[in-house]
């Protein structure tokens, strides 16, 4: 008890930093909808999840996961009907780093999509995990 009284500032810093560390480790950057590449692969294999690449066409052509549909984030409202068959199926949104896909999940949720996920780290994480990327547009 004497130690705590003599080092009150040190104890306070330790408690605050421990609390922040706990909060950050429990709350992932993309929220509850966020998936790692391993989790995304499992979802694709087990539940036939569809990949939706929301990057611009030029980014998509430079390299994208095979079988990913490309609808740029700015066109989601107008082209949502193209995704109507996936309203109740898992849909994994992918962007370059994972930031745009988190916001797009919220947009699609408002349009009635129920099983949305965002890939943590985006295409960069996909490539870093050694998963294949296809170049060029989808025919």
* Domain range annotation of the chain: 31-128
Measure Cα distances from 112 to 13, 28, 98 in Å: 44, 24, 21
The burial of 65, by beta-carbon neighbours within 10 Å (0-12 exposed, 13-18 middle, 19 or more buried), is given as: buried
Measure Cα distances from 22 to 18, 33, 78, 118, 127 in Å: 6, 19, 40, 22, 29
Q: Render each residue's pLDDT in the chain as its tens digit; 139 residues.
A: 788 788 888 888 888 888 887 776 655 444 458 899 999 999 999 999 999 999 999 999 999 998 899 999 999 989 989 998 888 889 999 999 888 888 899 889 888 888 999 999 999 999 999 999 998 875 4
Q: Which fold has domain 31-128?
A: Oxidized Rhodanese; domain 1 (3.40.250)
Q: Phi/psi at 34 (nearest 5 deg)?
A: -80, 140
Q: Do residues 33 and 120 lie in contact, with contact meaning Cβ atoms separated by under 8 Å?
A: no
Give 100's contacts (C-beta < 8 A, 6+ positions apart): 54, 55, 73
* Dihedral sign, Cα of residue 71, residue 74, residue 79, residue 82: positive
Q: What is the pLDDT of residues 76-99, one digit of tens each?
A: 989 989 998 888 889 999 999 888
Q: Do residues 49 and 67 lie in contact, with contact meaning Cβ atoms separated by under 8 Å?
A: no
What is the per-residue pLDDT for 7? 87
- pTM, 2 dp: 0.75
What is the per-residue pLDDT for 26? 59
């Amino acid at each position: 008890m004497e130690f705590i009284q003599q080092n009150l500032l040190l104890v306070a810093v330790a408690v605050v930093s421990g609390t922040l560390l706990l909060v950050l480790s429990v709350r992932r950057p993309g929220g509850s909808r966020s998936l790692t590449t391993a989790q995304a692969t499992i979802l694709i294999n087990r539940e036939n999840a569809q990949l939706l690449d929301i990057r611009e066409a030029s980014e998509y052509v430079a390299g994208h996961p095979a079988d990913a549909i490309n609808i740029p984030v700015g066109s989601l409202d107008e082209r949502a009907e193209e995704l109507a068959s996936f309203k109740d199926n898992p849909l994994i949104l992918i962007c370059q780093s994972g930031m745009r896909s988190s916001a797009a999940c919220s947009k699609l949720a408002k349009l009635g999509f129920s099983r949305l996920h965002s890939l943590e780290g985006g295409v960069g994480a996909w490539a870093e995990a050694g998963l294949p990327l296809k170049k060029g547009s989808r025919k």
